[in-house]
Each structure stands twice: as structure tokens, then as C-alpha cells.
């Protein structure tokens, strides 16, 4: 009988040692969770790395030449060069989103009025400049 109690005690001790390996803090279930989280984090890091490379390339192009600066000014700020004409096509029946953007001159023509006139030639109004060019 004592012999069976020793065997049962050894088996119970072996199960107790294995319990934490399978179901404890550092067990296989937790390892699987951490590996899944690692894959997700690596994918996010790769996406951020690609974004950083794209931004670094954009910074380099802005620092190296005026072409990128001009393109950005044209696209984002709506700026134009001197002696250029900006033509905005609005589908028939649609009104401009902001009526203050267009101004009607004395001759009845609609002229684009920028939101920030100080960006276009040191504080001069585009409306006045457009009227001067037409005269």
C-alpha cells in the first residue's frame, strides 16, 4: 500500500510541475498569444517603415530642388505663377462651396478670390491683379 501511495505522489508531483508549463503564466497558450501579437506588431512596423521612407523621399525632394516646392504650392495652396491664368471648371448647375471664393468684377466676370490673399504677392488682392491684367 505504501508503494502505491509513493507512485501516486510521484505522479501528482509530475502533473503539478507540468501544469504551469501548459496552463500557467509562461505556458504554451501564452506563447501562442505572444506570437500572434508579434506578427501584428511586425506588420504595423513594416507599414510605418514604408510611410517613413516615403516621407524621407518627399523631404529630400523638397530640400534638393524647387520643382517639388512649386508642385506642392500649386496643389495644396492653389498658387499660380505670375502671368498665368487659373481656370476652375464647375459643372453646370453646381454653385461653388463657398460663395466668398468667387467675386464678380464690374465687367460681370467671376474671378477667384483666395482665402488668404497675403500668400499671393505680398498682400495684393488677386481680384485687383486680375482686373489690371485684363485692362
pLDDT tens track, the chain, 135 positions: 888 899 899 999 888 888 777 777 778 888 889 999 999 999 999 999 999 999 998 888 888 877 888 888 887 887 888 888 877 787 887 765 555 555 566 666 666 666 665 655 544 444 444 444 443
- Check residue 110 and give its pLDDT: 63
Write the CA distances from 46 to 35, 39, 54, integer angstroms: 17, 11, 12
Residue 131 gets the label, from left (phi > 0), alpha (psi -120 to 50) or beta, of alpha
- Check residue 72 and give its pLDDT: 82
pTM over 0.75: no
Q: What is the rounded distance in angstroms from the CA atom of residue 78 to the CA atom of residue 101?
A: 12
Amino acid at each position: 500500500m505504501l508503494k502505491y501511495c509513493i507512485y501516486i505522489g510521484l505522479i501528482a508531483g509530475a502533473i503539478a510541475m507540468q501544469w504551469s508549463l501548459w496552463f500557467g503564466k509562461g505556458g504554451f497558450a501564452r506563447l501562442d498569444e505572444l506570437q500572434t501579437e508579434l506578427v501584428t506588431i511586425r506588420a504595423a512596423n513594416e507599414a510605418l517603415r514604408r510611410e517613413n521612407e516615403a516621407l524621407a523621399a518627399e523631404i529630400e525632394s523638397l530640400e534638393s530642388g524647387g520643382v517639388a516646392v512649386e508642385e506642392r504650392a500649386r496643389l495644396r495652396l492653389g498658387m499660380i505663377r505670375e502671368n498665368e491664368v487659373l481656370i476652375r471648371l464647375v459643372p453646370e448647375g453646381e454653385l461653388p462651396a463657398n460663395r466668398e471664393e468667387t467675386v464678380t468684377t464690374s465687367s460681370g466676370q467671376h474671378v477667384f478670390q483666395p482665402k488668404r490673399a497675403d500668400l499671393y504677392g505680398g498682400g495684393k488682392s488677386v481680384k485687383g491683379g486680375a482686373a489690371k491684367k485684363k485692362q
